[in-house]
Structure 1
Amino acid sequence: MYDTAALHRAYQDVIAAAEETAGAEPVAVPPGEWDAEQVLAHVGLVTAGTLAAVAAVAAGSPATFDNRISQDGWTIGRVIDRTGGGPQLRGRVAAQGEALGALAASLGAEELDTALPTLLLSHGRPVFEGPLTLRDLLDGLAATELPGHAAQLRAAVAS
């Protein structure tokens, strides 16, 4: 079974950061960077992709993880539009985080050690390409991806 405590804390921090910055005066976003809603939509897309990979492994199906769609500007905008942004977007990401934690907690060691063909991009550039265990994908989300976006959300508004 996967210990979801760190993952749970990381999602709580992202949601807390989004709530802290809701309604605050945004800072000018440098070209190529995202505003707070875009960051949160990106987190939702990463979470949806991770949920898909976890569900596939749990179902005994082939699984991969590729974060390219989570960085696509049009797709990010579509998520914001379809959720209505703001509280609805925060609610979606919180629900996705809970679902991911619940599903991940049900996995056994063999499932968590399943190697997934993985492609990770940052700012359109590959940062990792190769096999990554599902456990490492979840741990990376909790330890690096989500904390980085919580900090990004807090930096996206004037203090």
Structure 2
Amino acid sequence: MSDELRAAYETFLKTEARPVAPQGEWTTEQILAHVSLVTAATITTVSSVASGAVTTYDNRLAQDPWTLDRVSALAGERLRDRIRAQGEALCLLAEQLSEVELATAVPTLLLSNGECLVDAPVTVRDLLAGLATTELPGHANQL
């Protein structure tokens, strides 16, 4: 699991940014801020499961334009470095999870472009796999 996730972060971070965002799409900085927020939320969820705490996964904050701009402004030119560090932390955490922890279902709310994609329990394994196979590659394509 962590090898695929690590490879997805490496590919994402190596992707060159487009010069200008197409009309109505996120800027490069907003995409990077989104990935940083999604990664932070995933770290929180994985850490909570590993500690035995009750948790949920909700990506709405990672879609809020004001929050995206705020994270981008606060991190500045170090936003890719932040994502690199967060990705490594998440991979290290994922490597330590037991099969029981990976199979833990977490109440999940996933939105994309204002549409609800998931409103149901999702296992930690599937959250991590979705990040590696869908979320990071999708945003690499946006860059």
Q: TM-score, normalised by structure 1?
A: 0.87
Q: In the alignment, which residue of structure 2 is the partner of 1:15?
A: 13
Matched residues in 1 for 2:67 and 2:92: separation?
26
Q: In the alignment, which residue of structure 2 is the partner of 1:35?
A: 27
- Give the AA of the match of 1:54: V
Verify the 8 A CA contact 2:108 2:120 in the aligned structure 1.
yes
Matched residues in 1 for 2:118 and 2:134: separation?
14
SS in 1 for 2:53: coil
Q: After the TM superposition, list the runs of 4 or more consecutive aligned residues in structure 1 that deviate by more than 3 angstroms.
A: none
Matched residues in 1 for 2:9 and 2:23: separation?
25
For structure 1, the 5+ residue unaligned runs are 154-159
Matched residues in 1 for 2:20 and 2:43: separation?
32
Q: How does 1:80-119 map to 2 (within 5 A)?
A: 80-84=72-76, 86=77, 88-119=78-109
Q: TM-score, normalised by structure 2?
A: 0.97
Residue 29 of structure 1 and its aligned partner are, at CA, apart by: 2.5
For structure 2, the 5+ residue unaligned runs are none
Q: In the alignment, which residue of structure 2 is the partner of 1:156?
A: none
Once the two structures are superposed, residues 114-134 of structure 1 have per-residue CA deviations (whole angstroms, 9 ceiling, x without a partner) of 000000000111011101000
Number of residue pairs aligned between Structure 1 and Structure 2:
143
Once the two structures are superposed, residues 31-80 of structure 1 have per-residue CA deviations (whole angstroms, 9 ceiling, x without a partner) of 2x101111011000000000000000011000110000000001001101
Matched residues in 2 for 1:63 and 1:105: separation?
20
Over the aligned positions, Cα root-mean-square deviation in angstroms equals 1.0
SS in 1 for 2:52: coil
Identity %: 53
Matched residues in 1 for 2:33 and 2:21: separation?
18
Residue 151 of structure 1 and its aligned partner are, at CA, apart by: 0.8
